[in-house]
Amino acid sequence: MENNIKKIINKIPNNQKKEKGLVSFKVIQEIDKIILEYKENINDSRDRLLSIFGLFQSLFVGIDAMYDLSYVFKDKNFININRNKTLRDLKFIRNDIVGHPTNRVYEDNSIGFCSLNLEKTTKKNIFYTLITFQNQNVLREEKEFDILNIINEYMREKNLFISELANISNLSKNSNIKSLLYQFSNDRNLINLEKLTEAITKNYNLIHNNRYLWRCNLIKKLLQFDFESFSTSNVNYFINFQISKLFRMIFNDNIFTFQIPENINHIKSELIIDENTKRIILDITHPLFHKTILSISSNIKTEESKNFFSTILNIKDEEVLFSVLSSIIK
């Protein structure tokens, strides 16, 4: 597999992209060795803090290298690490304890501090206190993470990503995805969606839940979800928004057009938010999610839009909530 990926990268005509791809792949391999060494010495406490700090920084770099390698192939859709909760936690842990423990600035410009619990922390588990502030009140949150679980999740995602890249040279050139996508957009049912999903899986040699299959799964959830508190036009809009994302991912084109219901147009005009706030809202597990939602809710002026936004926030399924929120703030 290693040689196959190198052969694929070496066929890239652009020298800068070729070298970036080779370096990115080499970095991923080097981090495999760092992980192996960490696990071999996991019971040796003499270099505990140095090893933990080095590991978290290495995993962070490894994720960046995977994204860089995917961009070399002009397709970030082969990777979907942001949907892995454990690896999303990794980003916050690394920034808390390695990056900025004495001046943790969050996306909403609030400040936090991180205090590592040296008595409890081992190479297997990390413990720390996150100190933040709300209305001049000091908030202390105790954090605990299983380091081996983080390593295992990283390796699982990395191995799946590398496996799919190894198959990239076998992609189908004669795909019926476009016709199936149009067929599904005109007749949205689970059977047509399954045909589309199978065609995408076959065309891209997919073996795990990357962005293509994840987007298909979002649409499936929307089709199956009980939207009893929403109008038919709203539900159609939520689904159409995700279909348009698929068109853009596969064909790099906004050729799928659809109408925006009047009430959604209203709330879009009232939800004026910056890019940092968008990133928080579109990560439901983000530590600042609930605080941010309360903040932007207070900016909604009309009663109709307030009620509509409140109804959205009552959705319990996280992926459905993500789908609906993304469709009204993007």
pTM of the model: 0.76
Say if residue 162 is in the same domain as residue 182: no
Say if residue 189 is in the same domain as residue 140: no
Number of domains in the chain: 2
Say if residue 312 is in the same domain as residue 208: yes
Number of H helices, E strands in the chain: 14, 4
- 276-316 pLDDT, tens digit per residue, is 788 788 777 777 787 788 888 888 889 999 999 999 999 99
Say if residue 33 is in the same domain as residue 149: yes
Say if residue 281 is in the same domain as residue 147: no
* Domain stops at, among 143, 169, 195: 169
Ranked by mean pLDDT, which of 1-15, 51-65, 252-266, 297-311 comes out on top?
51-65
Say if residue 208 is in the same domain as residue 242: yes
Say if residue 144 is in the same domain as residue 184: no
Say if residue 125 is in the same domain as residue 207: no
CB 172 within 8 A of CB 153: no
Tell me the mean pLDDT in the region 244-264.
Answer: 85
Say if residue 97 is in the same domain as residue 78: yes
Record the tokens describing residue 10, joined without a space: 């070496």
- Print burial letters for 194-203: b (CB count within 10 Å at least 16), e (below 16): eebbebbeeb
Say if residue 258 is in the same domain as residue 303: yes
Tell me the mean pLDDT in the region 264-273.
Answer: 86
* Domain stops at, among 122, 147, 169: 169
* Domain stops at, among 128, 153, 169: 169
Say if residue 311 is in the same domain as residue 208: yes
Backbone angles phi, psi at 283, to 5 degrees: -125, 90
pLDDT bin (cut points 50, 70, 90) of residue 251 is: confident
CB-count burial class (<10 Å; 0-12, 13-18, 19+) for 86: middle
Say if residue 255 is in the same domain as residue 314: yes
Range of the domain at 272: 173-329
Per-chain mean pLDDT for the chain: 87
